[in-house]
Every structure is written in C-alpha cells, then in structure tokens.
Amino acid sequence: EAQVTQNPRYLITVTGKKLTVTCSQNMNHEYMSWYRQDPGLGLRQIYYSMNVEVTDKGDVPEGYKVSRKEKRNFPLILESPSPNQTSLYFCASSGGQWGNSPLHFGNGTRLTVT
C-alpha cells in the first residue's frame, strides 16, 4: 500500500530534550516536506526536500533540522525543543513537480513539549 509513515503518533517531552520524528514513504517520491498545524494558523511549512541531499527552509524553520540521506526517509529533528513547538506535525510527499502535484500526508505526530 502506498503510504507515508510517521512515527511516533504521540510524543510528550520536556524542554531541551532532543527528539526525532521519523518519516518514510514507499512511493519513490522525490519531493518531501514537513508541516506544522496550529489552530487558526493552518498548515505551515517547516522544511522541504526536492531530492536526496537537497533540503531547504520553509516558512517556519527555526528550531528544526532535517536531513535527506535516502530518498524514502526525511526525519525531522528538534535539537532543543521548546513549549512553542507543541503542535501537530505532518510529513508529506509528492511525486510530481514541486508545488504542482498533490501531496500525500502521513498520519501526523502530536507533539507536546512541557
């Protein structure tokens, strides 16, 4: 089954404790992206990747890191999480031209930072 898999689904952590949210897709998509979703603010892009070893900042990259060492994986790293990073996170991938093809979303990761 074609899918984007995120883990974990729920995560509660404390300020400053490094964490990684994994994202993997089995559709051989070149484009992958991370979003956060907050009430009233909608989906905002954190980072995106056009291909292996090619990543770039989205609209809200501060406090996040990403890497794209393999085509299928695009982990999101929070080196020192803070409470303002409490949010619902989605990984997404697309098989076509960046921005012009539909996105396939993972199931989401609800992160709480205390």
Residues that bind another protein (CB under 8 A): 40-45, 90, 97-108
Could you count the other beta carbons within 10 Å of the beta carbon of residue 42? 9
CB of residue 99 to another protein, shortest distance in Å: 4
By CB neighbour count within 10 A (0-12 exposed, 13-18 middle, 19+ buried), where does 91 fall?
Answer: buried
Which residue, 27 or 43, has its beta carbon nearer to another protein? 43
In the complex, minimum distance from the CB of residue 18 to another protein, in angstroms, rounded to a whole number: 25
Output the smallest distance, CB 88 to another protein, in A. Answer: 8
Q: Compute the radius of gyration of the chain from its Cα atoms.
A: 13
Nearer to another protein, 81 or 106 (CB): 106
- Shorter beta-carbon distance to another protein: residue 64 or 90: 90
- Torsion angle of the four alpha carbons 71, 26, 5, 97, in this order, in degrees rounded to the nearest 10: 60
